[in-house]
Chain A
Amino acid sequence: MSMLSLSSPSTPSSSPSSVLLHPLALSSILEAFVSRPPSSARVLGCLLGRVATAPGGGRVVEVVSAYAVPSAEQGASVAIGKDYQRQMAALAGRTSGAAPVGWFATSPGGLDGACPVPESASLVHDFFAGECADEPVHLIVDTSLQGDATSARAYTATPLAVQGVALANMFTEVRVEARADEGERIFVDQCVQGNAGAGQSERRREDELLASLDGLLELLGGASGYVDKVVAGSEPADPSRGRAIADALAAVPTLQPGALKDMLSGSLQDLLMVMYLGKLTKTQLAIAEKLTATVAI
């Protein structure tokens, strides 16, 4: 997914400086797109999330989830279900702390055009500006699958006014980053692996461990290969990388060889003992079962 895009050059402090996109939001948008009524080519909806202040100033908008709002488009004008939007936002607010922070639209025509934001977006944007507490963020998701990627871009709008009369909105792009909670991350990784390794129906425990170890070895090999190359002079030294490697090495605790062995055997004994207890408990349970079964007779 091409997530990195240009950050707008001048960001006033009230408009978002970056957007963090959760997989749930993206999945909700795609789900809404898949189950849209067949007559409409685009789906509009509301983004829910939280707003935080970034350390360097500027707002960071975290988009946690999204839902579609029924809408009808005719030419340049768009009609949006206001009540639906309000009711859904109220319901969603009761289960989680997320509030409306913007709106999304799917773009069937791809995002490569010079002007991915259609004219009707201004009106919708103004509507959502009324719904959200702060300035809303507009997210466009490309569903045409024309390019190699399903990309998403975020925009924020600044009104252009002439002599105090607001004419139109100028949409400036904002950087989108991928962000996920622990559980979401694990699940997405699991899906990705399940997708790619579709041929593996059985992944045994040992295979999984081996895969992880292989990965670790490769990373270590890569790092040490890089260091070798720098020492041999075939690659220019990058101080930040060197520092990162040094930090990683420093994080390895130095232990007396005996101490590590003791720790390991201690852990092993704990595990074995717990396993024994577990099996013992299960046996007791089976006995209890049998007793309760026979007592009634």
Chain B
Amino acid sequence: MAPPASGSASRPVLEISGHALLKIISHSHEHLPSTVSGSLLGLSSGPNSVTCSSAFGVPNVSAAAANNNNNNADEQDEPQEQALDDPALLADAPEEGPAARVVQSGSAHQIQYQREMLRLLKTTNGDANVVGWYQSMFLGTFCTAELLETQLSYQLELSEGAVVLLYDPVQTVNSNKGEIVVKAFRLTKEYTDAKTSGVKTYLPPRRVFTEMEVKVTNPSIVRALLFDLDRSNPLPRSAASNPPSRGSDYGGGGAVDFERLDLSTNPYLEKNLEFLSTWVDDLSAEQSKFQMFARQLLKEEGGGSVQPVSFNKRGAQAKKVFVDKEARWAGEDAPNRLDALLSNIQIGTYCDQVNEFADRGKAKLFVVAGAQAE
């Protein structure tokens, strides 16, 4: 999804260099269709903006074939976390921090990999400051319990401002948008507080993630290179107000522009709907759990039967047992709200994706229909 115009001053901003994004892109595409993960390196300048200048990928759990405590090789990777000392500061971050704190949520293999990589980078004055992590997602699927868990541990142990960057290689190529699809998130304070306190409260789905705006910045020499890559259009431009440079040596004739004109809709829609229906099934399962629990509460309140007013064998009205509903809902045996919440958010994302895609498709179809009529 393209980031909106820079009018939203309240949204935190993630400034990422083209180099870091290229590394992420290259890593993700190489390992399709499995998902990959890695670390983001950079600086965190203030509570509302994070700069990421580099990134590196971490080998897959399944490919590592090392002893890992986490099974499910076909699930998404669980990246490890490693917190160096105090990375939330600026250039004052100490070079040689004390012992690194390692959060155990990935295989030992990955943790060791990250440690070695950071050590090597430090020796060459490269960026060795972890500001977050990235993960590639498949067609917009990101709302899993593992992701939340990992991000939570990053935010608790690394810094408040740890960022997770999600790149979607499949959508970038297949959604005919001509732009890369990348999102960045943090968890809200509300969510982290609720999770750490262990109380089962209700949180509206909108307030779990803070979406961050992603801006791509490049150092000047790279921008000079980009100007060179511009293929100056030999044909005279029309009077339209479009800039003259559109393609690049890499792009084979402004191919990005022409991808937008692609009319095929079916494969993308089908895949999306498939995922959507799976998640809706999950959500309905969760909802039924809630229903069961509510019914159980009602039963207890009514003294063993579901009707609000019941008569037992002797014909007297059954006593109403007092049930402290709030305490029960927040108690131990209440169904876990997390999965329902995640399903909610994920389904919302799928719907948005499909809507956007359909919008664009409609415009193209109308254009073609109009051209055909002549």
Contacts and interface: CB of A to CB of B under 8 A. Distances in A.
B290 interface: yes
A73 interface: no
Contacts of B352: 278
Nearest to B219: A34
Interface in A101-146: 143, 145
Interface string A66-77: 001110000000
A23 B22 contact: yes
Given A31-B17, A288-B287, A264 B372 contact: yes
Contacts of B204: 289, 293
Given A192-B245, A222-B235, A209 B365 contact: no
Q: Give the residue among A35, A184, A278 with the most B Cβ atoms within 10 A.
A: A278
Interface stretch (B44-52, B173-181, B303-311): B173-181
Interface string B12-24: 0000011101110
Interface string B177-201: 0111000000000000000000001
A183 B172 contact: yes
Contacts of B254: 189, 215
Interface residues of B, number: 119
Contacts of B173: 182-183, 186
B344 interface: yes
A149 B228 contact: yes
Contact of A282 (B22, B64, B216, B348): B348
B21 A187 contact: yes
B68 interface: no
A214 interface: yes
A260 B372 contact: yes
B126 interface: yes
Interface stretch (A11-19, A53-61, A88-96, A160-168): A88-96
Contacts of B221: 30, 33-34, 143, 145, 150
Contacts of A28: 19, 23
Contact of B124 (A84, A213, A219, A297): A84
Contacts of A195: 218, 223, 226-227
B363 A26 contact: no
A285 B125 contact: no
Interface stretch (B88-96, B138-146, B151-159, B256-264): B256-264
Contact of B354 (A95, A200, A275): A275
Contacts of A68: 124, 126
A22 to B, nearest CB: 7
A189 B124 contact: no
A212 B257 contact: yes
Q: Give the residue among B22, B28, B113, B347 with the most A Cβ atoms within 10 A.
A: B22
Contacts of A247: none
Interface in A30-58: 30-31, 33-37
Q: Give the residue among B17, B325, B348 with the most A Cβ atoms within 10 A.
A: B348
Interface stretch (A227-235, A238-246, A266-274): A266-274
22 contacts: A26-B225, A33-B221, A34-B221, A94-B64, A96-B30, A96-B57, A179-B250, A182-B29, A184-B250, A187-B21, A193-B246, A197-B243, A201-B5, A201-B6, A208-B178, A218-B237, A267-B265, A268-B365, A271-B362, A278-B350, A292-B340, A296-B330
Given A211-B242, A292-B290, A292-B340, 16 more contacts: A27-B18, A30-B222, A31-B219, A31-B222, A36-B125, A186-B179, A192-B226, A196-B230, A205-B363, A211-B240, A212-B178, A215-B257, A218-B238, A274-B354, A288-B283, A295-B294
User: Which 9 A-B residue pairings sit nearest by Cβ, starting from the closest?
Assistant: A189-B256, A196-B245, A278-B351, A212-B257, A197-B243, A183-B25, A271-B358, A24-B22, A180-B250
Interface of A: 1, 3, 22-24, 26-28, 30-31, 33-37, 64-65, 68-70, 81, 84, 87-88, 91, 94-97, 143, 145, 148-150, 178-197, 200-202, 205-206, 208-216, 218-219, 221-222, 257, 260-261, 264-265, 267-268, 270-272, 274-275, 277-279, 281-282, 285, 288-289, 292-293, 295-297
